[in-house]
């Protein structure tokens, strides 16, 4: 029995068009994340990894769409190929099956290193841009998740013993954000 071709698409921001990545590529099902590639903690990637079975092929536009870190890329490809799942990168014209040649493994490492390098350059440019904006006095940082009144209400509710998880859900924020507000105290 021939396996399915499962597509995985990742875009970094909500305004990017995910459709173009696997345009004109035949796949049976597609999982799409709108998230940074800095790590592998992405909901649709996790669903795709749980979905694929032995004999399937995971089809990805390019290596940097799967991972921006060489260790993550190699680990994902190794985990999948050990399960009998092939990994195919359209842009690089490379497919990994587990029975790969030394040249294929070299290409995975080199291309993965370029993706990691590109991620480092992006972060460096971002830091430089923030520093310049701060010098000009125009950097405001991220918009606050809650108004001052909401933050006061949040602290009051937690102080009265309401569950932190329930309060975070009520305000539409993560528990980590809730803890940050509790730490600030004003």
84 and 154 together in one domain: no
Answer yes or no: do 85 and 16 share one domain.
Answer: yes
Q: Domain check: are 154 and 75 in the same one?
A: no
Helix (H) or strand (E) holding 30: strand 29-34
Q: What is the mean pLDDT of each run of 10 residues along the chain (186 residues)?
A: 88 73 89 84 94 96 88 92 94 87 83 83 89 86 84 92 92 88 78
Task: Write the CA distances from 122 to 71, 94, 158, integer angstroms.
Answer: 18, 25, 39
Same-domain pairing of 16 and 104: yes
81/162 same-domain check: no
Q: Strands, E, within 48-102: which ranges?
A: 57-60, 86-89, 94-96
| 128 in a structural domain | no
The domain boundary, picked from 56, 88, 114, lies at 114
In a domain, 36, yes or no: yes
Same domain, 9 and 99: yes
The number of distinct structural domains making up the chain is: 2
Establish if 46 belongs to a structural domain: yes
Task: Say yes or no: 17 and 100 in one domain.
Answer: yes
Task: Give the residue from 88, 114, 140 where a domain finishes.
Answer: 114
Q: Give the structural domain span for 70.
A: 5-114
Partner residues linked to 30 by β-bridges:
7
Has residue 143 been placed in a domain?
A: no
94, 114, 134 - which closes a domain: 114
Same domain, 165 and 108: no
Q: Please report whether residue 60 resides in a domain.
A: yes
Q: Which residues are identified as catalytic? A: 12
Claim to verify: residue 108 and residue 28 sit in the same structural domain: yes
Question: How is residue 144 annotated by DSSP?
Answer: P
What's residue 155's pLDDT?
93
Identify whether 50 is part of a domain.
yes
| CATH number of the domain residue 67 falls in | 3.40.50.1390
pLDDT for the residue 119: 79
Tell the residue number behind the tokens 């009998």, with chain if given. Answer: 84
Residue 49 structure tokens: 């990894």
171 domain-assigned? yes
């Amino acid at each position: 029995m021939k396996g399915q071709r499962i597509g995985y698409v990742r875009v970094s921001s909500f305004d990017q068009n995910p459709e173009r990545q696997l345009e004109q590529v035949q796949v049976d099902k597609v999982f799409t994340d709108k998230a940074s590639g800095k790590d592998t903690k992405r909901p649709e990637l996790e669903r795709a990894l749980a979905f694929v079975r032995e004999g399937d092929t995971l089809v990805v536009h390019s290596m940097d769409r799967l991972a921006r870190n060489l260790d993550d890329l190699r680990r994902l490809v190794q985990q999948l190929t050990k399960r009998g799942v092939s990994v195919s990168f359209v842009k690089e014209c490379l497919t990994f099956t587990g029975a790969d040649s030394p040249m294929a493994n070299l290409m995975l490492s080199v291309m993965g290193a370029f993706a990691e390098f590109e991620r480092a350059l992006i972060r460096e440019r971002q830091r430089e841009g923030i520093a310049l904006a701060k010098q000009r006095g125009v950097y405001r940082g991220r918009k606050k998740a809650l108004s001052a009144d909401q933050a006061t209400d949040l602290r009051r509710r937690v102080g009265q013993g309401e569950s932190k998880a329930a309060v975070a859900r009520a305000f539409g924020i993560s528990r980590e954000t809730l803890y940050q507000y509790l730490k600030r105290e004003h």
